[in-house]
Structure 1
Amino acid sequence: MLGGGFPPETIERGLVRGADVIAIDGGSTDSGPFYLGAATPKTTRAQVEWDLRILLKAAADARIPLIVGSCGTGGTDAGVDWIAGITEEILAAEGLALTVAAIYSEQKASALVEHLAAGAIHPLPPHGDLEATTLESCTRIVGMMGHEPIEAALRGGAQVVLAGRATDTAVAAAYPLMRDMPAGPTWHAAKIVECGGQCTTDPRAGGVLATIDSDGFTIEPLDPAASCTPASVAAHMLYETADPFRMREPAGTIDVTGATYRAVDERTVRVEGSAFDPAPQHTIKLEGARISGYETMSFTAIRDPHILANIEEWAALLRQVLGEWVTRTLYLEPDAYALDIRLYGHNAVLGEHDPATGPAREVAVMLLVHASDQATATAIATVANPLMLHLPTADMAYLPSTAFPFSPAETERGPAYEFVLNHVVDVEGPTDLFRTEYRKAVADA
């Protein structure tokens, strides 16, 4: 991921090994809906600038394209412009005159409402039919492009492609498909390289190099201390897929049912037998996020052994008493807000499925209040303050003292976002929903 860091020497090794293109992902939905809904990047400018400078200089020196997908984490127009601005500054500072293509993937709700009315938008499981009001409630909507807009930008003369939201595989598949490499090996290779070192024996290593030919592809790490093995390469088809043998792209489906994985040497794997089934209808997946409310968070830490021995009863009591106090003092009924109480150190991650038995030595209690406005969320969390500090269990004859880690105990998290789209839209052409702008960078004299 751009901004996630990598050893610079792995880029140098890739160039020595004859790389034809550098492809890197710039975003994801992994970290939740905030980054799309707020059009805010997850990574800092300093991180992105460090990585991007290395990649731009490498691409310029080798005279090969650089492709970045899902710019700015969510792939919003603002994210593309943010990366484009950093790119232009680096090119000017380094004296590099490269043509940059910015591909925008944000969608207008009004246009999508027309597609919906025409019956061209379909839900993906487990979602049901889409309402126009859901589209109109989104603060940001992006379409997830396949390789076609990226390939079009390359054919249009771009040396650097900065794409909005794109499938991870499209970023790596665009250039070899443009060079008429077979679709099966190309798409499979693109899937394997999407997370760099994760398909190697050292997930922390830098990138990998895939070499595609008419019969398949070979893949090797760019870190000489890491290795690709048949198991590590094949296993990546288990990553972020509902089916380890078939994975849908906008243009069709990758099918690795017949793929074979063979070690060429101790570091390199050969893959053959991959296929790609073109879809009868090209579709673009939609991602949309909207504000669901506002949140205030509070933490306390409990070490009292009696409470810890009855921690779930204590948490239930906290919820009960807090609800009573909120109704009595703020005149709010339970359906006007939501409470999330998590017991870190007890079962906050696995819940009732946690196999641990016996009380923990200490537990951090997180209270997350969700309400329609920030003031209400904070007021409810403030009502909870004395309870989180001194609430005894029913059989305690004293008021316990727990520990707030900071003062004030309440932290306003601001607007909370939720994903509300898991749908695809039928399109006549694979580039129809996307817009491309070309910018010729002029080096400083």
Structure 2
Amino acid sequence: MYSQEIDVLVVGAGQAGLAMSEHLSERGIPHLVLERYRIAERWRTERWDSLVANGPTWHDRFPGLEFDLDPDAFASKEQVADYLLAYAEKIAAPIRCGVEVTSVVKNIGQPGFRVETSDGIINARYVVVATGAFQQPLIPAVIPDGTELMQIHSSSYRNPQQLPAGAVVVVGAGSSGVQIADEIQKSGRQVYLSVGQHERPPRRYRGRDFAWWLGVLGKWEASSPPSGAEHVTIAVSGANGGHTVDFRDLAASGIRLAGRTVSFSNGTLRFAPDLGSNIKNGDATYLSLLDEADEYVLRNGLDLPEEPEARILGPCPEDAMNPVTKLNLVDDGITSIVWATGFAVDYSWLHVDAFDENGRPKHQRGVSAELGVYFLGLPWQSRRGSSFIWGVWHDAKYVADQILIQRGYLADVPFRQVNPTTASPSGNVPADGAEVTAFGAL
């Protein structure tokens, strides 16, 4: 028989799962949160040692609990993990750690889903997938296995000491890539940074953090990225108290810059000759935000100090004018590559009709194409801010409301009991043939 029945099963106890639990509890909806490791495990063990949040603590938090830090500080990864643990305790989230969900299939002849876990089988009326989008480290198939070179993803990078002696190539110029490249360079290594398309906002402007500017300018509420910018990274840093990322400064520190990584053969790594245009386009997004901020200040009569020096950009780095188009591993002494190239999703355990031909969730604001399955924590789930702690909290509120609506429709509908021996042989019923009682009034 099923070892447990529950109205809502939430998979994952990171920021998305906690937000979901809070809103379900407020609506009186019985639920259980399963986490295969610990609460906020990725913050503790899948980030580099010196990582800090990219947003100040006044911004990157849940509405119901402040960080025990200066509001303008940038929390370390351990402080973020501790914050999420404290939040779980504050809302008394019903979390079961150390339990992995291995399969979810739709029931036949009764509502809900059969959920197989490492701790038994659960029958859930609704399933919320709160595992987020950062599941499988993505390393492009550029350099074949067997090459005498250490290849490591940014999620496995911890500090420069774990890399072999020699020069390092960092691929990816978003927040992770630029911070890792800077840290490795300061450890005394020669670093080559492969820079693709990116946005480059100011860390602060006219006395306000860029997170504040995105808020008052309505950019956090954008429902979708601009056309062609779906995979453009954002280069901004909370390291060392927070600073604006400028590739001119990185070049001045000794980091060699190259364009987008394109191929590898005969011991040589090749780059596109697009570094100059990538930096130019990043500068354009930077200056555009300053323009919008100045216009907002003028229109609203705000007393914020002018900052004309923010518009002074130095000369383009030498590498942008004479781009590095190839590096030979032996000749240039390169012994390791750090791939700061993002993540792929992994829903191999979720056997429902909720995905497109590329394996991406089909949903509207988290309500999936498979009735009864919901997603939470996806980038751009409803807005630009969906991937942030405060953003996922608002998305969770919407998803909880949708679950409440569905429960209301079925509140007075009787369900017949199902004999598993007459149900589909696809694995949707217990193998022992025991009778399963439907949920009845929900």
Q: Is TM > 0.5 for Structure 1 vs Structure 2?
A: no
Larger relative contact order (C-alpha < 8 A, sep ≥ 6)?
2
After TM superposition, the score normalised by the length of structure 1 is 0.24
Q: TM-score, normalised by structure 2?
A: 0.24
Bigger radius of gyration:
1
The answer to which structure has the higher strand fraction is 1
Higher helix proportion (structure 1 or 2): 1
